[in-house]
Amino acid sequence: MRQIERGFVTANGAILVIGLMVMCVTVGWNVAGRYVTGNSLSWADEVSRYSMIWLTFLGSGLALREGAHAAITNAQDALPTSGQRAMRALILIIMFAFFGFMVWVGLDYMNRTAFQKSAALRVPMKWVYAAMPVGFALMIVHLALIAPKYWRAGQQQSDEAAIG
């Protein structure tokens, strides 16, 4: 199971690296072309914008896993151990419910925009908006993988500590 989890985390990170490379190369090529030839790529802005949207949603699960999202733990820390566990359980339930709701909302929004196409690339906008349900589904998977340790220990650990 740990190997599958490690592979999942590695694949998620590799996709982020590839997406960031695509975005950087596109923007760099466009800027260089603008200064060298005086022309720019008509689709570069859309590629970089849509890459950033996808990177944000695909990376949010890894950020969750690392504890990189904002958290206020004062109330939790003030409780006794049993109260802390109860609060962490409530937090997990709320997070699972919210992420599931956002997958549903994202799918609905994606389907509502299926007929629209982007201006330069002529890509159906549903593929741009698919980043939201995909990203929140990944957050559900990441949360499910770290939830037991979070509930028991009260702290999110890095991948090496959580998996290894």
Residues in the chain: 164
pLDDT the model gives residue 115: 92
pLDDT the model gives residue 157: 47
Joined together, the tokens standing for residue 7 give: 């592979």
pLDDT the model gives residue 81: 84
User: How many C-beta atoms surround the C-beta of residue 140 within 10 A?
Assistant: 18
pLDDT the model gives residue 71: 76
Of 45, 18, 19, 17, the closest CA to residue 30 belongs to: 45
Range of the domain at 54: 2-163
Residues 6+ apart with CB under 8 A from 144: 96
pLDDT the model gives residue 154: 58
d(CA 111, CA 115): 8
Tell me the whole-structure pTM to 2 decimals.
0.84
pLDDT the model gives residue 75: 81
Q: How many domains does the chain have?
A: 1
Give residue-wise pLDDT tens across range 5-44.
Answer: 999 999 999 999 999 999 999 999 999 999 999 888 889 9
Query: Which ranges of the chain have pLDDT less than 50?
Result: 156-164
DSSP state of 69: S
